[in-house]
Structure 1
Amino acid sequence: MTDAWGSNEIGVAHGPVVQARDVHGDVHIHHAGARPAPRSVVERPISGWSARQLGVHESITVDSATPDGPPCYVVRRHDDEIRGLLRDASETSLMLVLVGKSASGKTRAAYEALRAAGHLRSWPVVVPAGPNQLVELLAGGVPPRRVLWLNDVQRRFLDRPHVEAVAEGLVEVLSGPGPVLVVADVWTAHWKLLADTPQVQNLVNLPQVRMVRVADSFAGASDRERAELARCAERDPRLALAVRTGERQLAVTQVLSGGPRLLRDYLGGLHSPHAQALITAAMDARRLGQESPLTADVLRAAVVGYLDDRDRVAGGDWLTDALAEAARPHHGIAALTPTRQRPGIGPPDGYVLHDFLDHHTREARARKRPPASLWTALADHATAVDDRSRLAAEALQRGLYRLAAGCAGPAAESGDVAAMRLLAVLCDLRGATAEASAWKQRSGDLDRDPRPFDASPYLSWAEEEPDQHAQPAAAGSVDALWHEFDLAKRQGHEEEAVTCLRRLVAAGQPLAVSMLSVRLRDRGREEEAETLLRSHAQAGDPAAMWYLADMLVESTRVDEAVRWYRRSAELSALAVPLLVEALACLGRLEEAEGPLRTQMRNGVETACGHLADLLERLGRVDEAENVLRGWIEGTADPWRLSPQEPRGMELLAGLLRRAGRAAEADRVRRYGIEPGGSTAAAWELAPPRDA
């Protein structure tokens, strides 16, 4: 790996070019030979990088008098924290993670802090092209006094296929002699997911990893910060416009990025149908894992699935017109930014979606099923290994096995270990054990014991009281009360235990409510228990609602019990698995449908399987099948980072068998589904080259 360092040349932007064709039928893997040698990376001091090259958003323009370069920088409270952490970075390794919403100024804050750190200015800043190159660099050992710059770390580096290898490599480098500085930024929602991901927990729990939250706006700014903002706005017309436009929210950095205006235009439907469809296709491509610029060929092929029959009638050069509209700048910023990857001067050969649009529409589109036209366009035209690996992982999660194989094959033959593991899973699902072993052998996984994440602790109410005596707690604190309760319970002092629970209820501990109600009922104090539960249920506590409903059933007040069961399940995903059986026991099964559909609309994945079960019990098998097919294709479970069969596939196969369609059940387990949800026909998967 030593020859990968020290290059002053620009490396390959998006990895080696591979191409997969003919993904409409059988999947043929085009053999690319041995794993390519490590690509050289760019490393130069911070002074040799522009803010834009390191991922800082392009700023709006106002007029011809707009200053060159990024807008005047306003130092805020988080800047002081960042710069304080960097003071010690020359002695010990540090991973600095800036967390905030899109366009909140995370990357700019890191850029300015590094430029201001005199003792770090000479350190070469290394910008990996993607996760595969980063894994190569980490495996070879990062030389001391280097800065690894990981912009959009969750999306671009700690993605589903590569998260384990990247996290392990970062742990090793940060735990080594160093010193090495790793600078990363991540959206707030992505950081919450990463912090709870087992493959990343060893990394985020290192003392060398420090997280700094970047304020989303100037709304809570100090007087000093507001004065500095006003001073800079006097010198920079872009800031002045942002301050005026940001209004009460003072979302200055977002306005500087141009994002809010782009979002308003998109959500308001102010584009032509063709331009709107191009932008939507770019959004879906990004959330499926396509980080490289989208070519006109991809967009031309993909957009058809986003247009209705009327809008598919178009004359002239409709694509050129639509691209021009989507790329038309407002104050210098566009929804799709034209780029050129090929050498020399010429027309654009790709288009990049604005990050703000991706961030603010990703959740709304999370459960939308991308059309077949987009999947096919990406599988046919994607060239970057990292992109193909991410697309393959998304396709597998959605039951689209044929497309997953088509994306993964070229990536695997180019050396992507995650793609090899995915192909091994597909071979296992088909019963091709020899081919699966061959892929595992190539990936180094033949003797590996995969440990997929068990999400069950997050999907059920706690049955055990928390072990609050593990650490000393301050007297009078909630932890101290739990400690007292645990001690009283262990010693058999039930009245003292009840007293502790009352104090915990008064302190706002929801778990204590149900625990206290159980102990009150055990002592024959039914009326007091019901009063307790009812008051908390009426205040919106779903667990109290459920326990109250159980009490009401025992006293034959079934109608009221059903209402509380339904309300609990509408508010809490934890009640969803319990609802069908609870109402079935009361002969009120059909009344479970409403809450389950509510939770489906809220994005609670477990509701889909339980709704399908309910519909099948009610004799509505076709509806149950449609729910399962839509669930499989529309959901990519964020907890499932290792490749495996989608959760709903076994449920779908079971339903098909019970409906007398055993052959189709077997086929769907082996070959998956197609975009739109139909069962895939049998297709062939070529073995690895050296199998």
Structure 2
Amino acid sequence: MLLVGESTAGKTRAAFEAMRLLLPDYSFLAPSTREAVEVLLEDWGAIGDCVVWLDDLERFLGPGGLTLSALHRLLAPHPRVVVLSTMRSHEYNRYRDRAEHDVTGVEQDVWRQGRSVLRQAQVVQLERRWTVPERARTRVLQADPRLSRALAGGERFGVAEMLAAGPELAQAWQHAWVPGHHPRGAALVAAAVDARRAGYHRPMPADVLRRLHDGYLARHGGPELRPESFHEALIWALAPTVPAGANSLLLGDAAQGYIAFDYLIDLPAQEPILEALWWEVLERAPVHEAYAIACNAWLAGSFEPAYPTFRRAAQAGIGQAEGILFELGMPLRPAEEALVSARRRLNALRRELGDDHEDCLMAESEVATFTAHCGRYEEALHLSNELAHKAASVFGSEHRLVLGVKFGAAWSTFASGAQHEGLVMLDAAVRESTRVLGPRDMAVLDRRWWIVQLLVDAGRVGEAKRRIRALESDCAFLATNHPITVRVRRLADVLRHSSLDP
């Protein structure tokens, strides 16, 4: 069961009250982190009737946490186990099927595994704003001053939203940037909010917030804001709203650390996350969580902090991370060793999920890719052709995986020596990817780069020069530090200094 709604819609309280009412005799298990899910499963044999409580489900999704495999292990042996979870609408929408064409490269693994889990859920949508009948029933209880105050907020805000003081806190944060008010406090909150926007949902120690907040303060004016002391800023950020006992902008204490209030994370018109914060949270997060955060950093355009995390994730056995490093030209280990690991992962997934499961098909594509990187092109071509047919029957012929496998088959054909036939296939694969995904899709641009590289490796420099000029022009919209831009520029520089004529 999954309750989905905006922040402060009342998801957690509604789920808890439903559990208390309907399952009063069940045991209650609440993993606190992604890693705790695996710890829970290690001693899962003798469990009886219980509720597994996953508040803010997005914290648990992905490698090292709640994958489809882990969910099966939770539920299969115990028909009277209930997984009860909540998720903010913003996070849930990231995993909707309609978002599939927006997911590329580095985020595919995390997104795919999360979507597979969410597809198993019975979803209950909880609206932020209450209906007219719900508000009418609430008025019967107006003797409670908290409810009277919440109803007085009109229909713009939800009752639970007002009870949580969400709008008041958002307004307080906005006004705190005014010179002489609480700009340092606002900067502390901004750093804590961005940590959660990045995907790090753990308390931050005060010394970390002290170190990180300066960048946010400088972004808004620095000394010109006449900021208060750090001590005063922290007291202000922790002060509860009126009435006493309501939420504050930061939650926590000096011993446990501080975390931003949920309501602030999804506020509109927030600025880009500072690169210093990406570095900090990636270094602090456990490896599987860090991998998911690195994918977020990559998509946000902060590439440098992501590289060492991909390497750390690959060393921990996350296959997609190792594939990313190969594609970036930064392999963790020889291709033959990577292929052995990829085959081992595929066999394990097949035993657990069956041949045609999405995770198995993705693992098959990794095996085909690493086989090609080993120079075993005929074998890679055979694997790619078989996989393209199988994946098309499962997903359809225009799925990202199918398009990628078709390009892989063309790549292997060209690299095996059939250059004329291979180039025709490569161009056809890129045309199809461009038609389906669009000319600015990262996969399309990456495949065009690979064609140029293959031509260079084959000594066909003149043709490579013509193609790289067109690719440089078509990549102009990307940031100068984007990995594709960097790779295109480096290859273009090599070709410009080539002694061979176009």
Scaled by the length of structure 1, the TM-score of the pair is: 0.47
Of the three residues 58, 73, 81, the one matched with 1:180 is 81
Partner of 2:69: 168
Rounded to whole Å, the distance in 2 between the matches of 1:323 and 1:190 is: 29
Rounded to whole Å, the distance in 2 between the matches of 1:375 and 1:321 is: 26
Name which one, 1 or 2, has greater alpha-carbon Rg: 1
Q: Any idea what the Cα deviations from partners look like across 1:612-656, whole Å, max 9, x if unmatched?
A: x9xx99x99999877422794xxxxxxxxxxxxxxxx33542244
Secondary structure, in 3 states, of the residue corresponding to 1:226? helix
Partner of 1:344: none
Q: 1:458 to 1:335 in 2, by over 3 A?
A: farther
Q: Judge conservation of contact 1:279–1:335 (CA < 8 Å) in 2.
A: no
Partner of 2:148: 240
Partner of 1:374: 277
Q: 1:162 to 1:396 in 2, by over 3 A?
A: farther
The alpha-carbon deviation at position 273 of structure 1 amounts to 3.0
* Relative contact order higher in (CA < 8 Å, ≥ 6 apart): 1
Q: 1:146 to 1:387 in 2, by over 3 A?
A: same
Q: 1:272 to 1:202 in 2, by over 3 A?
A: closer
Secondary structure, in 3 states, of the residue corresponding to 2:67? helix
Rounded to whole Å, the distance in 2 between the matches of 1:662 and 1:432 is: 30
Partner of 2:378: none
Q: Judge conservation of contact 2:12–2:86 (CA < 8 Å) in 1.
A: yes
1:65-464 equivalence runs, <5 A: 96-117=1-22, 120-138=23-41, 141=44, 143-154=47-58, 156-159=59-62, 161-162=63-64, 166-196=67-97, 198-200=112-114, 202-206=116-120, 209-218=121-130, 220-222=131-133, 225-234=134-143, 236-245=144-153, 247-249=154-156, 251-268=158-175, 269=177, 272-306=182-216, 307-308=218-219, 311=222, 318-331=229-242, 332-333=245-246, 335-340=248-253, 347-361=254-268, 364-365=269-270, 369-379=272-282, 382=284, 384=286, 387-395=289-297, 397=299, 403-404=305-306, 406-407=308-309, 417-418=317-318, 422=321, 425-426=324-325, 429-434=329-334, 437=337, 441=341, 445=345, 449=363, 457=398
Rounded to whole Å, the distance in 2 between the matches of 1:108 and 1:248 is: 21
Aligned residue pairs, count: 383
Rounded to whole Å, the distance in 2 between the matches of 1:427 and 1:396 is: 16
Q: Percent identity?
A: 24
Secondary structure, in 3 states, of the residue corresponding to 1:233? coil
The alpha-carbon deviation at position 318 of structure 1 amounts to 2.8
Structure 2 gap segments, 5+ residues each: 98-110, 350-362, 367-390, 401-433, 450-465, 498-502
Q: 1:401 to 1:426 in 2, by over 3 A?
A: farther
Q: 1:257 to 1:148 in 2, by over 3 A?
A: same
Q: 1:396 to 1:179 in 2, by over 3 A?
A: same
| CA-based RMSD | 4.5
Q: Judge conservation of contact 1:296–1:349 (CA < 8 Å) in 2.
A: no
Rounded to whole Å, the distance in 1 between the matches of 2:322 and 2:437 is: 34
Q: 1:316 to 1:607 in 2, by over 3 A?
A: same
Q: Judge conservation of contact 1:100–1:213 (CA < 8 Å) in 2.
A: yes
The alpha-carbon deviation at position 456 of structure 1 amounts to 9.2
Q: 1:417 to 1:250 in 2, by over 3 A?
A: same
The alpha-carbon deviation at position 158 of structure 1 amounts to 1.3
The alpha-carbon deviation at position 253 of structure 1 amounts to 0.6
The alpha-carbon deviation at position 338 of structure 1 amounts to 4.2
Moved over 6 A (4+): 313-317, 408-413, 452-456, 573-576, 604-610, 619-626
Secondary structure, in 3 states, of the residue corresponding to 1:135? helix
Write 1 or 2 for the structure with the bigger share of helix: 2
The alpha-carbon deviation at position 430 of structure 1 amounts to 1.5
Partner of 1:585: none
Letter in 2 for 1:658: A
Q: Any idea what the Cα deviations from partners look like across 1:578-631, whole Å, max 9, x if unmatched?
A: 7xxxxxxxxxxxxxxxxxxxxxxxxx9779979xx9xx99x9999987742279
Q: Any idea what the Cα deviations from partners look like across 1:286-330, whole Å, max 9, x if unmatched?
A: 121211111222222222322149515899983223222322322
Rounded to whole Å, the distance in 1 between the matches of 2:165 and 2:470 is: 49
Partner of 1:499: none
The alpha-carbon deviation at position 98 of structure 1 amounts to 0.9
Q: Any idea what the Cα deviations from partners look like across 1:495-537, whole Å, max 9, x if unmatched?
A: xxxxxxxxxxxxxxxxxxxxxxxxxxxxxxxxxxxxxxxxxxx
The alpha-carbon deviation at position 116 of structure 1 amounts to 1.2
1:634-673 equivalence runs, <5 A: 649-658=483-492
Q: Judge conservation of contact 1:427–1:436 (CA < 8 Å) in 2.
A: no
Rounded to whole Å, the distance in 1 between the matches of 2:280 and 2:182 is: 22
Q: Judge conservation of contact 2:150–2:160 (CA < 8 Å) in 1.
A: yes
The alpha-carbon deviation at position 113 of structure 1 amounts to 1.1
Secondary structure, in 3 states, of the residue corresponding to 1:359? coil
Rounded to whole Å, the distance in 1 between the matches of 2:266 and 2:73 is: 31
Q: Judge conservation of contact 1:127–1:148 (CA < 8 Å) in 2.
A: yes
Q: Judge conservation of contact 2:28–2:51 (CA < 8 Å) in 1.
A: yes
Secondary structure, in 3 states, of the residue corresponding to 1:192? helix
The alpha-carbon deviation at position 162 of structure 1 amounts to 4.3
Q: Judge conservation of contact 1:303–1:374 (CA < 8 Å) in 2.
A: no
The alpha-carbon deviation at position 111 of structure 1 amounts to 0.8
The alpha-carbon deviation at position 188 of structure 1 amounts to 2.3
Q: 1:137 to 1:359 in 2, by over 3 A?
A: same
Q: Judge conservation of contact 1:126–1:146 (CA < 8 Å) in 2.
A: yes
Letter in 2 for 1:275: G
Structure 1 gap segments, 5+ residues each: 1-95, 341-346, 460-572, 579-603, 633-648, 664-691
Q: Judge conservation of contact 2:251–2:260 (CA < 8 Å) in 1.
A: no
Rounded to whole Å, the distance in 1 between the matches of 2:496 and 2:398 is: 34
Partner of 2:408: none
Q: Judge conservation of contact 2:147–2:163 (CA < 8 Å) in 1.
A: yes
The alpha-carbon deviation at position 239 of structure 1 amounts to 1.3
Letter in 2 for 1:354: F
Rounded to whole Å, the distance in 2 between the matches of 1:185 and 1:652 is: 41
Q: Any idea what the Cα deviations from partners look like across 1:175-232, whole Å, max 9, x if unmatched?
A: 44421111011122333333426435554454xx3221212222x232xx33430122
